[in-house]
Amino acid sequence: MKQKVTDVIKNYVDKEFHLEKPKSAELGDYATPVAFSMAKELRRSPIAIAQELALKLQNEPIFESVSALNGYINFKLSLDFMDSYAKHFLHSPNEFAKGKKDESILIEFVSANPTGPLHIGHARGAVVGDALCRIGAHLGYKITSEYYINDAGNQVDLLGLSIFLAGRENILNLSVEYPEQYYRGEYIVDLAREAAAKFGEKIFEDEKNIETLSLWGKDEMMELIRQNLSDANISFDNFVSEKSLYPKWEESFKKLQEGGKTYENEGKIWIKSQEFGDEKDRVVVREDARPTYLAGDIVYHDYKFARNFDRYINIWGADHHGYIARVKAAINFMGYDESKLEVILAQMVSLLKGGEPYKMSKRAGNFILMSEVIEEIGSDALRFIFLSKKSDTHLEFDVDELKKDDNSNPIYYVNYAHARINQLFTKCAKSVDDVADVKLAELNESAQNLLFNALLLPEVIEDAFLSRQVQKLTDYLKSLAAALHKFYNENRVLGSEFEDRYLKLLGIVALSLRTGLKLMGINAKDKM
């Protein structure tokens, strides 16, 4: 709708402008301050310009009313215009809020080390990334989702050592002296038992077998991670192994050297990342000629950018903030446009249970497992609450609140709105198709406002995607559900003279709720 309004106004205004929401819904559905930007050029007051434009635009059939106020032009959409949209999308529900975009985007998220199950910190980035992929694809962008497996560093060797020592202690019943750094938790003991079943207990007798345990353990953890993601309704187009990219390191390193952005000092090779806003230059090759952790990121982003996507989005944990400048520096030094990379930071999550801190998992050591929280509150509640706040802000919630079947639980509240509408159709034995062609006329103001709000979903998801703020969708769905419940309590639907018109109105509300939830990876409930 917003685009149609924009196109109509363009017939009268030869200048860039934007539409916004009026300060009060009573003023209209949209407003524009375009008269202010025209005032200097026309040497007239914004008030006079706005009044003149309002008079001209009043003749457009898509508007019920156009008014000028203090230099702003306010627009109220006609019921016939909104009805045409409602009718079209009720007949073609799968097309609702869809778009076509000529842009390809690679979105990388999660990318947790394959050394343990996913914890609740990983879950936030996972849910945000998956929702962005879903919304972007719905809007017509060519979206590719990717998980980068950090399987070439010391952490995989440490996993093998941890399994080896756990096997010696728990299976061979030997006294073990653990190093300062190792992976702990029941999952490591479980892996040791599985390894004994697969390879035999003798595998824990010789340290030479640690490498075998490392590679096997990494694969087992990736299977578990895939299962954790699947339980949250998350999948990926690509899984890219860091280890598989290491043969390409020399090629990436050569690009850095050719750009003149490397130098040797103290036997190490550094990149001049400080030139790009980094705190200091960074080592990419150690004294013993082994590439550093940063080198893995460099070769991976070389691989990314060589695939020629129009844009790249990385979703990282907040603790990776310092990596942004050095990675962007490397991208630039290799000859790519670093501005094509966006980095979204996902802040930490704090969980409560009954108002008290949620207990850490014995299975994972010092973490709260994503799988345990899903088991407790379900995937839908997890996804909804993780998308309810901007990702770079701290999130705290109480799992007990999300198990309540009342309006204090936001996912229950939105689902109840959808189920309430579905039950109305069930009670009167009618379907949406039965009322899709009914003309919406003589609706009261609250009904018209509800219709307008229900048709706003395309604008909401466009804004949510472009701003990378998926919480705008959860805010919208809660607001629409509240409007629906209010309308239902104030208006008799079944048996009223407006029954079919109200059912059509509620049909588009249900479509908006259902589509919005689907884009969050949640299936709307028909019954509660």
Residue range 344-399, pLDDT digits in tens: 999 989 999 999 988 877 666 778 899 999 999 999 999 999 999 999 999 999 99
pLDDT beyond 80 at 430:
yes
Q: Kindly report the pTM of this predicted structure.
A: 0.93
Q: Residue 207, Cβ neighbours under 10 Å: how many?
A: 11
Q: Is the torsion defined by CA of 134, 140, 141, 147 positive or negative?
A: positive
C-alpha distances (whole Å) from 191 to each of 43, 195, 258, 372 are 77, 6, 46, 18
Residue 25 banded pLDDT, cuts 50, 70, 90: confident
Q: Residue 446, Cβ neighbours under 10 Å: how many?
A: 13
* Predicted pLDDT at 528: 87
Cross-strand partners of 122 = none
pLDDT, tens digit, 9 for 90 and up, residues 229-245 = 999 999 999 999 999 99
Architecture of domain 2-77: 2-Layer Sandwich (3.30)
pLDDT, tens digit, 9 for 90 and up, residues 299-309 = 999 999 999 99
CA–CA separation, 249 and 242 (whole Å): 10
* Predicted pLDDT at 360: 75
For 312, residues 6+ apart whose C-beta sits below 8 A from its C-beta are 105, 106, 107, 108, 304, 305, 340, 341, 342
Tokens 């009261």 label which residue? 444
The pLDDT of 318-345, averaged and rounded, is 94
The pLDDT of 463-479, averaged and rounded, is 97
pLDDT beyond 90 at 24:
no
Architecture of domain 406-519: Orthogonal Bundle (1.10)
Q: Which residue has the higher pLDDT, 57 or 42?
A: 57
CA–CA separation, 223 and 439 (whole Å): 54
Give me 116's structure tokens: 């343990």
Q: Which residue ranges make up each domain of the chain?
A: 2-77, 109-236+347-403, 406-519
**Which percentage of the chain shows pLDDT scores above 90?**
88
Give 109-236+347-403's CATH code, choosing from 3.40.50.620, 2.40.37.10, 1.20.1440.120, 3.40.50.2300: 3.40.50.620
Mean pLDDT rounded to a whole number for the chain: 94
Tokens 């890219």 label which residue? 240
Rounded to the nearest 5°, which phi and psi values hold at 416? -65, -35
Per-residue HEC secondary structure of 116-182 comes to: CCCEHHHHHHHHHHHHHHHHHHHCCCEEEEEEEECCCCHHHHHHHHHHHHHHHHHCCCCCCCCCCCC
* Predicted pLDDT at 373: 93
pLDDT, tens digit, 9 for 90 and up, residues 261-304 = 999 999 999 999 999 989 999 999 999 988 998 999 999 999 99
Which ranges of 232-378 would DSSP assign to H, the alpha helix? Answer: 242-245, 249-258, 293-305, 323-333, 370-377
Identify residue 39 by its one-letter amino acid code.
A
CA–CA separation, 324 and 329 (whole Å): 8
CA dihedral 20, 25, 27, 31 (to 10 degrees): 10
**Which percentage of the chain shows pLDDT scores above 70?**
99
Of 133-137, 184-188, 514-518, least confident by mean pLDDT is 184-188
CA–CA separation, 193 and 491 (whole Å): 63
Residue 152 banded pLDDT, cuts 50, 70, 90: confident
* Predicted pLDDT at 362: 67
CA–CA separation, 395 and 361 (whole Å): 19
* Predicted pLDDT at 122: 92
